[in-house]
Amino acid sequence: MTVFTQTLRKTLFTVLVLSAILPPLYGQSSANSLSQLDSAIRTLGADISTRLNTERAQKVGLGQWAYRDTLTSLGSYWQTQLMEELTNVRGRSFSLSLDTQTGADWLISGEIIEVANVIRVYTRLTRVNGNAVAASLHSDFEYNQFFADMLAGGSGSSPSLLRDAYEFDSMEAPLAVTLAASADGPLINRNLHNGSDEDFFLLTPAEDSTIVMETTGDTDTYLELYESGSTSRIANNDDGGSGSNARIRHSVRAGVRYIAKVRGYSNDTGSYGFRAYITEGIRPDEYEEDNSFNTAKLITIGTAQQHTFHNGDDVDWVKFQVTRSGRYVIRARGVNSARLDTVVALYDSSNSYIDEDDDGGEDMDARLSAQLQSGTYYVKVSCLNDDPDQPYTVRVDAE
């Protein structure tokens, strides 16, 4: 038994075992797909044997069924089963051989292609003398996980990545995903099969909450979030997860339909996992609403205030009173670690911009030093993290 035949049998065995223990996810179960495959080959074998006997064929060579110039488990199975069907024909006029190079007066071969959501297997009956095609037949099968697995297993040059079995999804027809209760929820494994492929996931929270959407794997993914029916993006992320994976954390409303779109960054392709789960969100702090110049809250010089960015778009405003001219330092930093990328911007009492700082402190902490005259000053504190995960302190000190 060859290594490829062993691989083929293992592929079929795995698919059939999975079909026995898992509910079907697609239009057909694996067992039904295999039955349909065998039935198509039996019908094809009867047709071809009749044609060969009519033509009084003597020696028939059985070639390959390639998929994207690659030998796959599906092509090998097709060849093997067709050989069996033709071998068992009673009273046949021809002999069969897998040697297609010497002595054959007829050749049977073909190719496998994808057409929309259909796997089409072409079989050609060719007279070697003159290389004349006597017949071209095809068999169609619904694209599902069974056929995706059989096309993925093979040998030869590496094929292009296959579409996954959740295609064809779109913004109008996204794949519905159940929000898990924790980060240990199940992964949905998908492929970005070419540079223009985009995958869409529908998320509908049952209650107001904070959810996390993230990808896993080695593919460089880019993640975007929309409300269903709108083309206005409400959040996006490139490498907020592990490695080159994307991650968005966002506050959502009960019953609202959200759509997460995954694409390859710079048209990257490959396999990846997607999951979405509910997480304990950071609650708005006691100083809200403080998202504008007019709602700024008073801070005492020399005393830190603790705030939160309860989502990636939150900004906080504070104001302080300078009674003695001099140099003052404004700091904003995460409470738990230096991962929080804070920004502070300073304004005067007429809302005129003075200066700002991003990473002037330790690591990603903001630190702004300014010479100030007596008067009231305002500070806008913002965050460059798409997914702020901790509170922060803001403080004004005289140098």
Q: What is the CATH number of the domain that holds 91?
A: 3.40.50
Summarize pLDDT for 10-27 with one digit per residue, the tens. Answer: 444 444 443 333 333 333
- Residue 169 placed within a domain: no
Helix ranges restricted to H, 22-161: 30-54, 73-87, 145-152
Q: Are 223 and 215 in contact (CB under 8 A)?
A: yes
- Residue 287 placed within a domain: no
Burial degree of 389 (CB within 10 A; 0-12, 13-18, 19+): middle
Does residue 10 or residue 105 have the better pLDDT?
A: 105
Average pLDDT over residues 37-47: 95
Average pLDDT over residues 170-186: 91
Residues 147 and 247 in one domain: no
Token output for 192: 């970005």
Domain range holding 372? 293-398
Residues 22 and 145 in one domain: yes
Residues 144 and 198 in one domain: no
pLDDT at 353 over 80: yes
Does residue 169 or residue 8 have the better pLDDT?
A: 169
Residues 25 and 144 in one domain: yes
- Residue 285 placed within a domain: no
Residues 228 and 254 in one domain: yes
Average pLDDT over residues 301-307: 96
In angstroms, the CA 56 to CA 71 distance is: 31
pLDDT of 340:
80
Residues 189 and 104 in one domain: no
- Residue 382 placed within a domain: yes
- Residue 297 placed within a domain: yes
pLDDT grade for 64, boundaries at 50, 70 and 90: confident
pLDDT grade for 2, boundaries at 50, 70 and 90: very low
- Residue 160 placed within a domain: no
- Residue 164 placed within a domain: no
Residues 254 and 323 in one domain: no
Kindly state the percentage of the chain with pLDDT values over 70.
Answer: 87
pLDDT of 183:
87
- Among 127, 155, 183, the domain boundary falls at 155
Average pLDDT over residues 367-377: 97
In angstroms, the CA 178 to CA 8 distance is: 34
Number of domains forming the structure of the chain: 3
- Of residues 189, 196, 122, 121, the one with CA closest to residue 160: 196
What is the residue-averaged pLDDT of the chain? 86
Residues 151 and 229 in one domain: no
Q: Which of 42-46, 65-69, 308-312, 337-341 has the highest mean pLDDT?
A: 42-46
Residues 16 and 99 in one domain: yes
Residues 145 and 24 in one domain: yes
Q: Are 247 and 214 in contact (CB under 8 A)?
A: yes
Residues 92 and 236 in one domain: no
pLDDT at 151 over 70: yes
Encoded amino acid at 33, one letter: S
In the block, tokens 């300014």 appear at 370
Range scoring the smallest mean pLDDT among 100-104, 336-340, 369-373: 336-340
Does residue 332 or residue 9 have the better pLDDT?
A: 332
Average pLDDT over residues 106-134: 91
pLDDT of 154:
52
pLDDT grade for 114, boundaries at 50, 70 and 90: confident
Does residue 237 or residue 159 have the better pLDDT?
A: 237
Average pLDDT over residues 119-146: 91
- DSSP states of 166-210: T-S--SSSPEEEPPBSSTTSPPEEEEE-STT-EEEEEE--SSSEE
pLDDT at 66 over 70: yes
What's 383's domain CATH number? Answer: 2.60.120.380
Token output for 282: 């950071």
pLDDT at 381 over 80: yes
- Residue 162 placed within a domain: no
Query: Would strands 188-192 and 247-252 be described as parallel, antiparallel, or unpaired?
Result: unpaired
pLDDT at 263 over 60: yes
Average pLDDT over residues 347-358: 96
- Of residues 328, 274, 282, the one with CA closest to residue 301: 328
pLDDT of 1:
45
Does residue 2 or residue 317 have the better pLDDT?
A: 317
Burial degree of 79 (CB within 10 A; 0-12, 13-18, 19+): buried
What does the DSSP 8-state code read for residue 225?
A: E
Residues 125 and 15 in one domain: yes
Taking every pair of Cα atoms in the chain, the longest distance, rounded to a whole number of angstroms, is 111
